[in-house]
A = this chain, B = another copy of it.
């Protein structure tokens, strides 16, 4: 049995010599992180945090601007936290959220690198 790389590097003119495309495991991991960001409410959550002067926002303060219920907001914050895009800090009753270091930039970079042919990265 040939592996996937061998299969695309076959004799067809389109793909002769082609290698370096991402494997399924890498694609799975990136797709999971992208899916966490690929939601309008979650994109707004990220943008709201990025624009907060203190760099962090209480979970209680998304309900108004997003016009979503607290359970819905909490769900989206949970997805973003599990994807490593935001980090929460519990203080009393509420959790305060900040962006996880360069996680979104790293995710954007990973997406961009998909279309950079192998061996040509700067």
Contacts and interface: CB of A to CB of B under 8 A. Distances in A.
Interface of A: 4-5, 7-8, 10, 12-22, 24, 27-28, 30-31, 34-35, 37-44, 46-54, 56-58, 61, 64-67, 96, 99, 104-105, 107-109, 111-112, 114-118
A66 B15 CA distance: 13
Q: How many copies does the complex hold?
A: 2
Given A8-B61, A8-B64, 4 more contacts: A4-B65, A15-B53, A43-B114, A108-B112
A104 B15 CA distance: 21
Most chain B CB within 10 A, of A15, A51, A105, is at A51
Contacts of A15: 48, 52-53, 57, 61, 65
